[in-house]
Chains A and B, each alone.
Chain A
Amino acid sequence: MIEFDWDWAFAWEVLPLLLDACLITLQATLLGSMLAIVMGLLLALLRRSRWKTVSYSAYWWMEFVRSTPLLVQIYFLYYVAPEWGLNMSPMMTGVIALGMHYGAYLSEVFRSGIDGVGKGQWEASIALNLSPYRTYRDVILPQALRSMIPASGNYIIAMFKETPQLSAITLLEMLQLAKIMGSENFRYLEPFTLVGLIYLVLSLAASTGIRLAERRFPKEGFTLS
């Protein structure tokens, strides 16, 4: 029989430390998703450019980023980029890797959200002589946002769950800490179980939050100014 002895004392000892490390995880997720949103929007807009070179470059960048593993990108930024003089801390590397990776996915979400806004809205904007900036900001994006919320939210939760990959470049996030605790005490059950539970609770809370945000998002009256 497999022995399954849960040590409550040890669990209570590692939990506060894991929660501290969770802040690092959350920080990487938060900064990473901010960068991903900016990157995603930028890529989505570039792909709509009427200059073919620009739209194709954006398209191939997106394909390239989505077709290579996140872990390879993380290693590349951390171990190869310094050879070109680009030295970054593990946190900085992680934020940039997550932001770029998920920015490529988000660009597809943003693009289909923008495409979902009817042709008539663009035509009215031209007829009213609105600049492209005003058209996006005041007319298109506020209407596209509602349809972008669920998928973007899911990608950001996915990003959150990918943060353990940053342990590969020595970022002291939750999983990395659990590994250290485990090897120091020769007990892995409690730290790894707790890490899993913390991810579970936070992911469930976040997806509930997204559903609420989607439902509460006003059908009308939402403008960016």
Chain B
Amino acid sequence: MMHKLFKYLDGKLGFEKASAHCDIPCGIYDPRSAQMAALTVVRMMDLMKALNEKSGTMDLAYVNTMSRYIASKEEHAEMVKREIRVIWGDFMKKEHFDKYPELHGLVHEIMQLGSQARQGVDIAIAETLLKKVNRFAEIFWEIKGVKTHCVVSPYLPERLVIMPILDGMEKEHLKKAS
């Protein structure tokens, strides 16, 4: 009752907000953004190669398009590193590292591969980066107790990705909420 009244007044007057701030806003972690970024790195390398083979001359349009591909590759390789680093640093705890001793090494490999993907144009590097990020995602969902499956991304570059199986989770959610 009181809360409803205050909420009404808040709507009219707009009380100042005070943040009971948490380091982790609502604990939202999801490796799918890292996987999408890794797929983008692969895609950009494919596009760069195709443009290079197609273009006979290095005209202005070529330089413009190639620059855009490179910029996107840079940005997404860095995004992979950032997203993985946040999950590894904030979400994962000692018990997870004890259970999955490969984790630190895996994250370090992703950091190295991410940088190499920025520096070069070796598609094998981008493919390995995606593979390692997939393994990281698989471990993440295992920790969360969510089953996964391996699917082909429904868009180019059409590579294999590990995705959570979320079917039926809404039923559990509704059961808990009721």
Q: Determine if chain A interacts with chain B.
A: no
